[in-house]
Amino acid sequence: MIIERQEDVTEAVLTAMRGAENARLRTVMAAFVRHLHAFAREVRLTEPEFEYAIDVLNRIGQATNDSHNEGVLFSDALGLSTLVCLLNNGRSGATETAAALLGPFWRANAPLTENGGSIVRSPTPGPPLFVDCRICDAHGLPLAGVRVDVWQASPAGMYENQDETQADMNLRGVFETDAEGRFAFRSVKPAGYPVPTHGPTGEMLAAQKRHPYRPAHLHVLAFKTGFKTLITQVFVDDDEHLESDVVFGVTRALIGDFRKGEGPAPAADVAGEWFSLAYTFVMEPGEAVLPQPPIK
C-alpha cells in the first residue's frame, strides 16, 4: 500500500501482518498495533517525545543484567505485571489465595532446606520470624510434595544479590510440603524497601512525584504437577505503604497476620522480640510451569 495520509498507516501495517501462521500472534500483534497507533493519535505524539521513548526503551535493555531486570521493574511500576497476573489467576477456582506478580528478584536453585529450617544464611538485622504455612486445594484438602520457593529482602532494604555483605542465597530457600500440606521456616521479619531507581523506572517515578517503596513482604512460589504454579506474596499487615505499593501488588487476600510473639520463642537462642506468621495458600488445578527467572 502506498501511504497517502496518516490514517492509512495503521491499515497498511495490519494488512502486512496478516500472513502470520500463528493465530494467537495475529490476534496479539493486530491489537497491539491498533492500540499503539491510537495512543499516538490520542496524545498527538511529537517527534522529540517519540525519540525519548525509544531512548528509554533502549536504556531499559542496557540497565538489565544478571542481577537486575529493569524491564520487569518498569512493567511492575506501570501496574502491567499485576494486571496480567490478576487476569490469569484466581477466577477459575482458588480465589482464597490471590496470585501476585513474580517481581524482578526471584532466582532459581535456592538451597533445599528442611522443614522448620532457617533461611538466614549470614548475619541479618531484624527480629526473628517463625513462619508456619499450609497449602491446600480449592476443597481444603492438604497438598503434599509441593515444592515451595521463598525469598525476601533483608530488613536493610536489599535482596542478597544486590548486597555484597550478604551471603549468597541469604533469605532464600526451597521447601517441600509434608503429608499435611505444611512447610515451616525461620527468617527475620521483612521490612519495606525502595525499588532500584538508578534507571528509567526511577526517572519515571521521580517525574510523576511517586515514592519508590514496596511494603514489607515475603515471596512464595509453589510448584506441583497437576496444579497451576502459584506465585504470590504475603504482606506485613502494619506496613505504612500497603495502600501505596509502588508496583500495585497488594490485594486484600495477601495481607498476612504477623503476630508479635508472647512468651518464649520457638527457638532457644531468641531472647528478645520475635514474630510469627501462619498462612494458608490455595492452589488450583492446571499446568505446572515454572517462570523464567528474571535474574541469575
- Name the band, by pLDDT with cuts 50, 70 and 90, for residue 101: confident
- Name the band, by pLDDT with cuts 50, 70 and 90, for residue 97: low
> For the segment 242-291, what is each residue's pLDDT rounded down to a tens digit?
999 999 999 888 999 999 999 899 999 998 999 999 999 999 888 899 98
In this prediction, residues 134-158 reach a mean pLDDT of: 94
99/85: higher pLDDT: 85
Collapsed DSSP state (helix, strand, coil) of residue 170: coil
User: Which pLDDT score is estimated for 98?
Assistant: 62
Reference 190, options 256, 127, 140, 241; nearest CA is 127
Q: Are residues 28 and 149 in the same domain?
A: no
Q: Are residues 111 and 161 in the same domain?
A: yes
Domain assignment of residue 292, yes or no: no
CB atoms within 10 A of CB 202: 19
Q: Are residues 135 and 188 in the same domain?
A: yes
Q: Are residues 20 and 166 in the same domain?
A: no
Q: Are residues 143 and 182 in the same domain?
A: yes
Average pLDDT, the chain: 93
Domain assignment of residue 125, yes or no: yes
- Name the band, by pLDDT with cuts 50, 70 and 90, for residue 100: confident
User: Which pLDDT score is estimated for 96?
Assistant: 44
Q: Are residues 276 and 138 in the same domain?
A: yes
Domain assignment of residue 64, yes or no: no
Q: The domain spanning residue 275 has which CATH number? A: 2.60.130.10
User: Which pLDDT score is estimated for 95?
Assistant: 46
Domain assignment of residue 141, yes or no: yes
Reference 119, options 220, 193, 255; nearest CA is 220
Q: Does residue 126 carry a pLDDT above 90? A: yes
How far is 94 from 91, CA to CA, in rounded Å? 7
User: Which pLDDT score is estimated for 253?
Assistant: 87
Give the phi and the psi of residue 139 in degrees, each rounded to 5.
-100, 5
Q: Does residue 94 carry a pLDDT above 70? A: no
- Name the band, by pLDDT with cuts 50, 70 and 90, for residue 93: very low
Domain assignment of residue 161, yes or no: yes
How far is 144 from 19, CA to CA, in rounded Å? 47
> For the segment 28-81, what is each residue's pLDDT rounded down to a tens digit?
999 999 999 999 999 999 999 999 999 999 999 999 998 899 999 999 999 999
Domain assignment of residue 66, yes or no: no
Q: Are residues 134 and 225 in the same domain?
A: yes
User: Which pLDDT score is estimated for 215?
Assistant: 97
Domain assignment of residue 11, yes or no: yes
User: Which pLDDT score is estimated for 99?
Assistant: 75
Domain assignment of residue 274, yes or no: yes
Q: Are residues 156 and 211 in the same domain?
A: yes
User: Which pLDDT score is estimated for 79?
Assistant: 95
* Structural domain span for residue 185: 74-282
Q: Are residues 174 and 36 in the same domain?
A: no
Cell 538485622 locates to: 125
In this prediction, residues 187-216 reach a mean pLDDT of: 96
How many domains, in total, are found in the chain? 2
User: How would you classify residue 52: left for phi > 0, otherwise alpha for psi between -120 and 50, otherwise beta?
Assistant: alpha
User: Which pLDDT score is estimated for 245?
Assistant: 97
